[in-house]
Structure 1
Amino acid sequence: MPVASPIPLAPVPPMIGGGEMGDLVRDTDWSSTALGDYSSWPASLRTALSLVLNTKGIAALYWGPQQWLLYNDAYGLALGDRHPAAFGRPMPEVLTDIAPVLSPQVAQVLATGDGFSIENLSMMMRRHGKEEETVWTYSFSPVQGESGGYEGVLLLASEMTQQVLADRKRDRAEHERAQALLRLSELNAGLEEEISRRTADRNRLWLLSADIMLRCTFDGVITAVNPAWTDLLGWQESELIGLSLFELIHPDDLAHTQQGASLSADGHAYARFDNRYRHKDGSYRWISWSTQPDEQQINAVGRDFTAERESASALAAAEEALRQSQKLEAIGQLTGGVAHDFNNLLTVIKSSTDLLKRPDLSSERRARYVSAIADTVERAAKVTSQLLAFARRQTLQPTVFAPAENLRALASMIKTLVGAEVELAMDIPEHSHFVIADPSQFDMAIVNMAVNARDAMVGQGRLIIRVGPARRGSEANEQPMMPGDQVVISMTDTGSGIAPLHLGKIFEPFFTTKGVGQGTGLGLSQVFGFAKQSGGEITVDSEVDQGTTFTLYLPQASEPREPRSVEAPHELVHGHGTGVLIVEDNPQVGAFAMHSLTDLGYRPVLAINGQEALAELARDASRFKVVFSDVVLPGMTGIELAHEIRRRYAGLPVVLTSGYSHVLAEKGTDGFELLHKPYSVEQLSRLLCGAMCTHFSRVT
């Protein structure tokens, strides 16, 4: 490639001229090229180059067998982005796209000395960064050297691309206009026949259709009906033309139909519009319409679906009856299971109380029977807690905690539960992920799942517990669709797995594959209820003889602030005449609370509902230092009563109690203290004291 030099070794005569390319010739150090120093060039080359440079049109010189390319400004413009790198180099090397056409022609002229010309030759040429079609008219003329032979070829060319492409476009517009005229002529020739055929087809459809067809104005006046009206609704065409269709509409569907007609006037079409039309005999038929308005009227086709609607209604009624039957069966199973478990518990209590009545009972045996009663009450409370968890009616006390910390604390208990021959692996990250849920119910759910895994492994195997954030879209564990972020707690065992037949029933209450007396079937239902009531989910993935993975999803929460340390209230040994208003509608529970608090030195007063309690306070509220109210009351609930007391008597604390309440399950305690039933006298006394002490500290 030529190398530019500000001071040529052999000056080129200025008379060479040639615009920018002439300057390029003068500024190039030709001595470093295969052509040699300019002063050594033969006169024939200099003369031919001067002719090329000073030609106004596109001109080039291909010199020697290597076809060295020298050209003028116009040729450089035609080359596009390959100029000026192509100047002074062999043409076959730099014009690789058109060289297969031009190079043989140049070689032929050099060999024979016969020039020639070509018109409108199309060639694909790379320029301006892309391949494009170009069209050229050009001539080749031989240049004779000093030895008498032919040393070069002179190219004179005109680019015809724009003209030829324009001619082609014009010609195509004319292959196309003629074809369009031909097609139009053919269409016009068959248009009348097509119109006649379609009109006949439409008329046949209008006459033979089993669906009713209608044309009416936008204000509902019928202008045309097909014969199907007579078969379906009993009306003759003469009775319908000019009649307002609104006179045939069922009164309950009239406003709906009038609104539809009004929207149709604005151009709205209906794929389905249902209403009832009056038969001539006075009955009604359900019609499903498809409508399409034009500028003047509504065109509609209607299908009678009265029978389908009646069948669907009958099917829905049958399905509802089946659901009710299934509900009754489930309730029967549930109550039967509860009765079975509680009969066992009551047997222990009844036997213990009978033995306690014996006069010759030793103090050691008396303590044993009392302990048996207390333990049985605890087991009964656990059964009711599991039932409430499944029914999502337990009173949860959600707080923000880290499941990983709870699992670490439970690790030793779980290891004891599963046994020494079960390997326990805990995959728990160092960084804690927080959830909002009831931590005690969470612990119970984990224990229930661990016991279930232990039984599935028959005391031998491996149990893996993992904690981490939910990984959305994970192939290994597709999480359920739930709003917000979740934390995942999974438990995988190597046990016997769950058969597909049983997989859909494992969370049902009292469902168990264990033998009689080996389980209540409430463990997994408690986990299910806890997950649902906490705003989470529980899923199971199992394969027979390969093991099972239970995955618990709980709503993720931000890290809690450090809680303030609160000094626990001292247990109240004696009430010292403190006034307590008890609100309880159950006579036995109310009497027990009255006697218990009286024995502890309180002065209790009993009210059986909210209105009676407010009346007692209205007489003299200063008698009472605390109100102890059940949540489930006739009329006003305990929470509503507590709010009313807070509004009227801001200085009077309220403690609530409940064993079950859908209000508490759905809305919580609204910040009031809560004592769960069944409760002990010590628990009641401690909570009353704590409520009074806490309220007093806030006031002071």
Structure 2
Amino acid sequence: MPSSELQSLRQQLEQLQQQNNLLTARLAERKGAGPAPDQQALADTQQRYRFLFEAMDEGFCIIEFFDGPHGPLSDYVHIEANAAYAKHAGIENVVGQTLRQLVPDEADGWLARYGMVLRSGTPIRFEQELVVTGRHLDICAFRLEPASRKQVAVLFQDVTARKRAESGLKRLNQELELRVAQALAERKILTDVVEATLAQIQVVDLDIRWLAINRAARDEFQRIFEQVPSVGDSLPTLMASRAEDCARGLQLWHRALKGEAFVEVAEFGEGEQHRHYELRFSPLHDSNGQLIGAYLFAYDISERVREQKRLRKTEEALRQAQKMEAVGQLTGGIAHDFNNLLTGISGSLELSRNLLGRGRHEQIAPYLRTAQDVCNRAASLVHRLLAFSRRQTLEPRTIDVNRLVGGMLELIRRSVGPHIDIEVFTTSASCRANIDASQLENALLNLCINARDAMPDGGRISIETRHLPADEQVAAHLDLKPGDYLALSVSDNGSGMPPQVLARAFDPFFTTKPVGHGTGLGLSMVYGFVRQSGGQVRVYSEPGQGTSVHLYLPRLDSASLPLSEPKPTARPLRELRDMTVMLVDDEATIRMLVGEVLNDLGYAKLEFADGHSALAALQNGASVDLLISDVGMPGGMNGQQLVAAARQLRPGLKVLFITGYAEQAVLGTGVFEPTTRVLTKPFSLDTLAQRIEEMIG
């Protein structure tokens, strides 16, 4: 099986096993509550996992390391193996047996291979002989996360036949090279050598004529091309009945006759005769090293290809099932939270209306404040969802992360309380990054509050910054590009997380906090923000030992880059000026609210409900200093198309997009033009006013 397919299969198995473990843990936590849906989900996941596990033609096992008499992690036990394990390895009933019980003389070599995978987390692929059974195995091994499980999964297949064929091919090549001069003079000798080989073999000269062909190859050729080949015949002539197959075959032979040794998988024949072959070409030299021809070993792999296609279909079905399960979980969580928020808004407004009807105006204010607060919570929830999906609008600028941490300390201390000690360790190296400062502040505060919640009786939070140069190996381990990074870490000595909780730490709406004390979007928001910023997040935790969360952010090494300072938020009152703002939005409510802000600021305004009407006004000579436009609008012209057309008429026109979409949906590449800004809905009217003033001013 190709390495890409092994990698895909590995990911599927790992995901299914994680689901299995997590559902089992959830059932254990809710034991006695009769959670029939969880039980059914567990049964479904286990059934899918078991089906794929047992259906694989490749051998598969999961091993778990432990400390043995020979030292730490000096042995491992087989905790799971499929039926194909015995077929490929030649050893039965391995579950429950340790490596040193099975192959004591070979144990150190296998431990060295798999121990490296366990320590580094980097998958490997290699070939090695299992001496006790004489089997040569093609092996792919990868660590099952988290690393604290000390488990490695192993996929392998028996390639002994291929190894023997390669060895025989090598011996045959040596014999052919020694005897080729005599063989060419006496063809029978060459034919005898070829006929002694069980695999399909053909030997041709530089004119693409057969020097030798054995019975297996002759029969296969006749089945595909309906011609009987003989020594001395021309390959192109006998293959001419199948034009496409002839062209494909000659292309491969020409490569071999130029001296190239290679392996190719190709298909020949039509209908019931259609077959897949693994073709191994090698050049043929005489005793003086002169190229005189080429030979081919062919293996029919049609059954293997069909099995791989069937397995891919099974994998696709599993991926679809997992996707639908994830969508169901996500939409269920969103619906739950938004229904609660909408109830708060609707109830507050209904009470306000009733009080107005009774003339009790003085009692309305608390309910209006409640509705506003709930709206802010709804906006925050959408913001967190966008952060989780890495689709939020970021405004990166050059900041000193050490300075940001120092500026946050007082707020963090007030948030976590006096029973928590705060320690800060900052690096002396350059700690600059091009990142959204407010999002990083939110992430740091969120992590500190999570740490506080893990230490209800008090404890210690450590905040650390350090420089991390990531070479190819380190970058691959962290799933990052090689380069310079700075690490911002938050660690606590609290209760820690068990493996089943740690595995779901970044899942949306997953929380271990009581109802009403968390949405379950905190860590997923941090993860989405950091990944969108080109970084990575890693969490390490052990029950009773605390938790460490590490944010790896791209580091700016150039001291010449100036630090960005936040702009003042207060806006002065303006008098009426001769400036015009064009407002385009299909939502009447939005036009009303933005229009009131423009009136308050003293600007003239032109309002339109669609892009075509706005563009017509510009074509008729309307004077506009700023264009404010929604992105998604009906009528065949969206905001982006309107702006593109408007700038053909007015190059350099200032544009403010107001949108419920993410920045990437507006700008594509995410790069701001100097005259373009984005404000995502929902926004406060003060924020809108400030942005308008900044752009026109």
Please state which band the TM-score falls in when normalised by the shorter chain: 0.5 to 0.7
Per-residue CA deviations over 1:141-181 (Å, capped at 9, x if unaligned) read xxxxxxxxxxxxxxxxxxxxxxxxxxxxxxxxxxxxxxxxx
Q: How has the CA–CA distance of structure 1 residues 561 and 317 changed in structure 2, closer, same or farther, with 3 Å as cutoff?
A: same
* Contact 2:210–2:235 (CA under 8 A) maintained in structure 1: yes
Question: Following the alignment from structure 1 to structure 2, what is the Cα–Cα distance between the partners of residues 228 and 655?
Answer: 74
Q: CA deviation at 1:612?
A: 4.9
Question: Following the alignment from structure 1 to structure 2, what is the Cα–Cα distance between the partners of residues 392 and 676?
Answer: 15
Partner letter of residue 676 of structure 1? T
Q: CA deviation at 1:360?
A: 2.7
Q: How has the CA–CA distance of structure 1 residues 471 and 579 changed in structure 2, closer, same or farther, with 3 Å as cutoff?
A: closer
Is 1:238 matched with 2:238?
no
Question: Following the alignment from structure 2 to structure 1, what is the Cα–Cα distance between the partners of residues 645 and 552?
Answer: 38
Q: How has the CA–CA distance of structure 1 residues 444 and 254 changed in structure 2, closer, same or farther, with 3 Å as cutoff?
A: farther
Per-residue CA deviations over 1:625-663 (Å, capped at 9, x if unaligned) read 210012445776645654554453136321122232233
- In structure 2, the partner of 1:269 is 261
Partner letter of residue 214 of structure 2? N
Worse-superposed segment, 516-525 or 234-243: 234-243
Question: Following the alignment from structure 1 to structure 2, what is the Cα–Cα distance between the partners of residues 340 and 319?
Answer: 32
* Contact 2:527–2:536 (CA under 8 A) maintained in structure 1: yes
* Contact 2:395–2:436 (CA under 8 A) maintained in structure 1: yes
Q: How has the CA–CA distance of structure 1 residues 521 and 216 changed in structure 2, closer, same or farther, with 3 Å as cutoff?
A: same
SS at the partner of 2:692?
helix
1:291 to 281, 284, 288: 281
Question: Following the alignment from structure 1 to structure 2, what is the Cα–Cα distance between the partners of residues 564 and 526?
Answer: 25
Q: CA deviation at 1:221?
A: 4.8
Q: CA deviation at 1:583?
A: 2.9
Q: How has the CA–CA distance of structure 1 residues 298 and 590 changed in structure 2, closer, same or farther, with 3 Å as cutoff?
A: farther
Is 1:226 matched with 2:214?
yes
* Contact 2:469–2:483 (CA under 8 A) maintained in structure 1: no
Question: Following the alignment from structure 1 to structure 2, what is the Cα–Cα distance between the partners of residues 408 and 208?
Answer: 80
SS at the partner of 1:510?
coil
Is 1:211 matched with 2:211?
no
Question: Following the alignment from structure 1 to structure 2, what is the Cα–Cα distance between the partners of residues 397 and 298?
Answer: 63
- Map 1:441-520; keep pairs closer than 5 Å: 441-470=439-468, 481-520=480-519
SS at the partner of 2:562?
coil
Q: CA deviation at 1:208?
A: 6.4
Q: How has the CA–CA distance of structure 1 residues 278 and 603 changed in structure 2, closer, same or farther, with 3 Å as cutoff?
A: same
Partner letter of residue 289 of structure 1? L
- Map 1:428-447; keep pairs closer than 5 Å: 428-429=426-427, 433-447=431-445
Q: CA deviation at 1:249?
A: 6.2
Question: Following the alignment from structure 1 to structure 2, what is the Cα–Cα distance between the partners of residues 201 and 380?
Answer: 85
1:260 to 241, 246, 252: 252
Question: Following the alignment from structure 1 to structure 2, what is the Cα–Cα distance between the partners of residues 383 and 594?
Answer: 27
- In structure 1, the partner of 2:620 is 619
Question: Following the alignment from structure 2 to structure 1, what is the Cα–Cα distance between the partners of residues 303 and 359?
Answer: 78
Q: How has the CA–CA distance of structure 1 residues 306 and 349 changed in structure 2, closer, same or farther, with 3 Å as cutoff?
A: same
Partner letter of residue 627 of structure 1? L
- In structure 1, the partner of 2:673 is 670
- In structure 2, the partner of 1:346 is 342
Q: How has the CA–CA distance of structure 1 residues 567 and 683 changed in structure 2, closer, same or farther, with 3 Å as cutoff?
A: closer
Partner letter of residue 501 of structure 1? Q
Q: How has the CA–CA distance of structure 1 residues 345 and 563 changed in structure 2, closer, same or farther, with 3 Å as cutoff?
A: closer
1:303 to 295, 299, 306: 299
* Contact 1:539–1:550 (CA under 8 A) maintained in structure 2: yes
Question: Following the alignment from structure 1 to structure 2, what is the Cα–Cα distance between the partners of residues 382 and 610?
Answer: 30
SS at the partner of 1:369?
helix
* Contact 2:341–2:378 (CA under 8 A) maintained in structure 1: yes
Paired residue total? 494
* Contact 2:190–2:212 (CA under 8 A) maintained in structure 1: no
- Map 1:1-20; keep pairs closer than 5 Å: none
* Contact 1:572–1:689 (CA under 8 A) maintained in structure 2: no
- In structure 2, the partner of 1:653 is 654
Q: CA deviation at 1:216?
A: 3.5
* Contact 1:291–1:298 (CA under 8 A) maintained in structure 2: yes
Per-residue CA deviations over 1:446-493 (Å, capped at 9, x if unaligned) read 111112111112251111111121266999xx8664322111111110
Q: How has the CA–CA distance of structure 1 residues 221 and 660 changed in structure 2, closer, same or farther, with 3 Å as cutoff?
A: farther
Q: CA deviation at 1:597?
A: 4.8
* Contact 1:465–1:491 (CA under 8 A) maintained in structure 2: yes
Worse-superposed segment, 673-682 or 448-457: 673-682
Q: How has the CA–CA distance of structure 1 residues 390 and 562 changed in structure 2, closer, same or farther, with 3 Å as cutoff?
A: closer
After TM superposition, the score normalised by the length of structure 1 is 0.63
Per-residue CA deviations over 1:346-385 (Å, capped at 9, x if unaligned) read 1110011101112236444311111111111111111111
Question: Following the alignment from structure 2 to structure 1, what is the Cα–Cα distance between the partners of residues 454 and 641?
Answer: 47
Q: CA deviation at 1:523?
A: 0.2
Is 1:685 matched with 2:683?
no
Question: Following the alignment from structure 2 to structure 1, what is the Cα–Cα distance between the partners of residues 204 and 595?
Answer: 80
Question: Following the alignment from structure 2 to structure 1, what is the Cα–Cα distance between the partners of residues 517 and 570?
Answer: 42
* Contact 1:394–1:665 (CA under 8 A) maintained in structure 2: no
Query: Is the radius of gyration larger for structure 1 or structure 2?
Result: 1
* Contact 2:277–2:302 (CA under 8 A) maintained in structure 1: yes
- In structure 2, the partner of 1:80 is none
**CA RMSD across the alignment:** 3.6
Worse-superposed segment, 216-225 or 369-378: 216-225
Question: Following the alignment from structure 2 to structure 1, what is the Cα–Cα distance between the partners of residues 539 and 321?
Answer: 28
* Contact 1:423–1:462 (CA under 8 A) maintained in structure 2: yes
SS at the partner of 2:346?
helix
- In structure 1, the partner of 2:521 is 522
- Percent of aligned pairs with the same amino acid: 32
Q: CA deviation at 1:424?
A: 1.3
Is 1:334 matched with 2:337?
no
- Map 1:42-53; keep pairs closer than 5 Å: none
After TM superposition, the score normalised by the length of structure 2 is 0.63
Q: How has the CA–CA distance of structure 1 residues 619 and 210 changed in structure 2, closer, same or farther, with 3 Å as cutoff?
A: farther
Partner letter of residue 491 of structure 2? T
Which runs of 5 or more structure 1 residues have no equivalent in the other structure? 1-190, 694-700
Q: CA deviation at 1:258?
A: 3.9
SS at the partner of 2:615?
helix
Q: How has the CA–CA distance of structure 1 residues 299 and 377 changed in structure 2, closer, same or farther, with 3 Å as cutoff?
A: same
Question: Following the alignment from structure 2 to structure 1, what is the Cα–Cα distance between the partners of residues 459 and 299?
Answer: 65
Q: How has the CA–CA distance of structure 1 residues 362 and 580 changed in structure 2, closer, same or farther, with 3 Å as cutoff?
A: same
Per-residue CA deviations over 1:302-334 (Å, capped at 9, x if unaligned) read 001111112112211221221122111111111
1:320 to 303, 311, 316: 316
Which runs of 5 or more structure 2 residues have no equivalent in the other structure? 1-177, 285-290
Question: Following the alignment from structure 2 to structure 1, what is the Cα–Cα distance between the partners of residues 519 and 543?
Answer: 23
2:379 to 355, 378, 381: 381
Question: Following the alignment from structure 1 to structure 2, what is the Cα–Cα distance between the partners of residues 200 and 524?
Answer: 75
- In structure 1, the partner of 2:400 is 402
Question: Following the alignment from structure 1 to structure 2, what is the Cα–Cα distance between the partners of residues 504 and 665?
Answer: 33
- Map 1:191-210; keep pairs closer than 5 Å: 206-207=194-195
Question: Following the alignment from structure 2 to structure 1, what is the Cα–Cα distance between the partners of residues 693 and 470?
Answer: 48
Q: How has the CA–CA distance of structure 1 residues 274 and 562 changed in structure 2, closer, same or farther, with 3 Å as cutoff?
A: closer
